[in-house]
Amino acid sequence: MVQLVAGDLNLVNAVILDRMQSQIPLIPELAGHLIAGGGKRMRPMLTLASARLLGYSGNRHHRLAAAVEFIHTATLLHDDVVDGSDLRRGKRTANLIWGNPASVLVGDFLFSRSFELMVEDGSLKVLKILSNASAVIAEGEVNQLTAARRIDIGEERYLDIIGAKTAALFAAACRIAAVVAERPEAEEAALDAYGRNLGIAFQLVDDAIDYVSDAGTMGKDAGDDFREGKATLPVILAYARGSAEDRVFWKAAMEGHRASDEDFAHAVSLIRSSHAVDDTLARARHYGQRAIDALGGFAGGAAKDAMVEAVEFAVARAY
């Protein structure tokens, strides 16, 4: 997908760099740290690839892809404040460097700026899709916050959370391409389904990696979720399948009473013996396959191939 949209992505990056400017120097400084700092631009790439799939030949999608990336960046800034994170994409987080207040306010600025970009485009339908996605993301983040440090949330609520906090923006990023290309509702829905399932698969793999990788390969600290008491699917499965003794451990761990390196090593061994990572990845393949099948109605070609490959790559990341 990177090759397919490389030219378009340069134009999107130009919009991003232009529109993150402000007379207040701290804004481009802080925003640039995150925006220039090795992000994969996955969401804007989804808008660009979807537009390519539909044979769209205009340029409205460049500005809208930048709006999508601004929403994502605002979310990351606020996430890192909420989680108290100190490492993102292998770099120190903005909140660590400039403090929580600056991260909150620059996030607000980028969020407002994303709506300004949408208003310039002028499609109320796009505005509706992305304002709704933004509200759903915030709801998902609050849902995740109220689930923090609880071992008993279960797979369904976990799926609600990642469906909102991650998959909603993937879905919207794809769907808006069908709006600018003026395609029928069925194609909008198909692209929405592609993005949504890809987003769920992507987040499942991300959550699995936290129990198999290290900071060098994933750009964040391995065991972060564990130490923050986030009951992601690997933990939910290991808990559901564990002995009474294991469950005592998991409960204490999620509550923050088992945060040492030895505790994390024990967690990884429990997850391995219960096949919880393997099965989290199997779930990811399920959603990945649904994403691929959602593209069934579109004609084959370079764009479709790239979108299928993007799913396969996302699902295979953990191996």
Please give the residue ranges that form the binding site for a second copy (CB under 8 A).
Answer: 22-27, 74-75, 78, 81-83, 100-102, 104-106, 108-109, 111-113, 115-116, 118-119, 122, 124, 127-128, 131-132, 134-135, 137-139, 141-143, 145-146
State the nearest-atom distance from the C-beta of 65 to a second copy, in Å.
Answer: 18
State the nearest-atom distance from the C-beta of 137 to a second copy, in Å.
Answer: 8
Q: Is residue 88 classed as helix, strand or coil in its secondary structure?
A: strand
Please count the residues of the chain. Answer: 319
State the nearest-atom distance from the C-beta of 136 to a second copy, in Å.
Answer: 8
Q: Which long-range contacts (CB under 8 A, 24 or more apart) does 44-47 make?
A: 44/9, 44/12, 44/68, 44/69, 44/173, 45/1, 45/2, 45/5, 45/9, 45/310, 46/170, 46/173, 46/174, 46/195, 46/198, 46/310, 47/173, 47/174, 47/176, 47/177
State the nearest-atom distance from the C-beta of 228 to a second copy, in Å.
Answer: 11
- When the beta carbons of 60 and 283 are compared against a second copy, the nearer one is 60
- When the beta carbons of 108 and 305 are compared against a second copy, the nearer one is 108
Rg of the chain, C-alpha, whole Å:
20
- When the beta carbons of 8 and 79 are compared against a second copy, the nearer one is 79
- When the beta carbons of 168 and 212 are compared against a second copy, the nearer one is 168
- When the beta carbons of 182 and 305 are compared against a second copy, the nearer one is 182
Name the residue with tokens 């969020």. Answer: 111
CA angle 152, 157, 162 (to 5 degrees): 125
State the nearest-atom distance from the C-beta of 29 to a second copy, in Å.
Answer: 10
